[in-house]
Amino acid sequence: MALGLPVAPPLRTHDGVYLVAGEDGSYSLYPYLPGRVYEAHYTESGGVDAAILARAAAYGRGLARLHRGLAALADVWDASVMDLPQQLRGWVRARLDEIASVATCVADVYHGFTGSLFARYCELPHQIIHRDAHPGNLLIKDNEVSGFIDWEISTQGPRLFDLAYCSTSLLSVAQGISARRHAWLSQLTSLVAGYDSVQPLAGVERAMLGQIQMAIQLIFAAYYGGLGMAEQMDANLATLRWLLDNQDAVAEAASGRGGVRDE
């Protein structure tokens, strides 16, 4: 619980090391963190209720507290550096351009939002981030985040990335269902409000939340496309297109207002 953060540092073995090599990989032991992972982010009817919105706000508060603590580690944690524009211009674009069925769509999408992302990316506050902050890696107890797990890909990057990643994880669970996508906007409002209540977003972060959300979908689409997993790739591209078509609604939800384009 260094710096008061709900993070479990690895334990040393009797030999004083953190990792033990096995036949099929390396293993490490961590202290127990209380709490549970929630998987139901929509009601049976496809909407959200007070408990779901409260949990989204808790995710936001937890991420803000995490970022506040991680910022203090900048001088002692030699983390790798995320260059999101370079990824989008490089391996992500190259991989998607190789897939004939999506090349034209991807070119249109790049024209639709990456210009503004590239232009303002350096303005975003950067620090050490979790990088994989989906709800499955956030433990909840007593309506607050009680633990963060799975730190294998933590990095230096825009702190907004964690918030965008958490929000798009909730959107992906919607599985293209219109009612859930509409309800997701309410979750986004609660998530951002929770974050703001602990550590207010900068103006440029609020303005660029949608672009980072869409960039994440491109990364996943390229990743799955490279593995030949066409169904997962198409699902991420469909989510990306929905975000692109509803940029105004997303911006309004993130600012505490609401509204979505009819489908």
- CATH code (residue 74): 3.90.1200.10
Mean pLDDT on 127-134: 97
- What is the C-alpha separation between 59 and 37, in angstroms, rounded? 11
Total of domains in the chain = 1
Burial class (CB in 10 A: 0-12, 13-18, 19+), 100: exposed
- What average pLDDT does the segment 243-263 reach? 76
236: in domain: yes
149 is a domain residue: yes
pLDDT at 257: 56
Q: Among the listed ranges 3-12, 30-39, 49-58, which one has the minimum average pLDDT value?
A: 3-12
Looking at every residue in the chain, the average pLDDT score rounds to 91
Closest of 202, 180, 177, 178 to residue 254, by C-alpha: 202
Residue 16 lies in a domain: no
67 in a structural domain: yes
Report whether pLDDT(229) > 70.
yes
Backbone φ and ψ for 127, nearest 5 degrees, come out as -170, -175
Q: Is 250:185 a contact under the CB 8 Å cutoff?
A: yes
> Hey, which bits of 73-192 come out as E strands?
126-129, 138-141, 144-148, 155-158
Q: Are 119 and 34 in contact (CB under 8 A)?
A: no
Tell whether 61 is covered by a domain: yes
Asked if the structure places residue 5 within a domain, the reply is: no
144 forms beta bridges with 141
**How confident is residue 73, by pLDDT bands cut at 50, 70 and 90?**
confident
**Mean pLDDT to the nearest integer, 133-143:** 97
Long-range own/partner contacts, residues 71-75 (CB < 8 A, 24 or more apart): 71/127, 71/128, 72/3, 73/3, 73/128, 74/127, 74/128
Residue 62 has pLDDT above 60, yes or no: yes
CB neighbourhood size of 122 (10 A): 10
- The pTM (predicted TM-score) of the whole model is 0.92
Domain holding 217, by residue range, is 33-254
Question: Residue 2 has what pLDDT?
Answer: 54
pLDDT given at position 104 = 81
In this prediction, residue 107 carries a pLDDT of 83
Select, from the ranges 42-46, 98-102, 114-118, the one with the highest average predicted confidence (pLDDT): 42-46
In a domain, 203, yes or no: yes
Q: Residue 206: inside a domain, yes or no?
A: yes
pLDDT of residue 199: 95
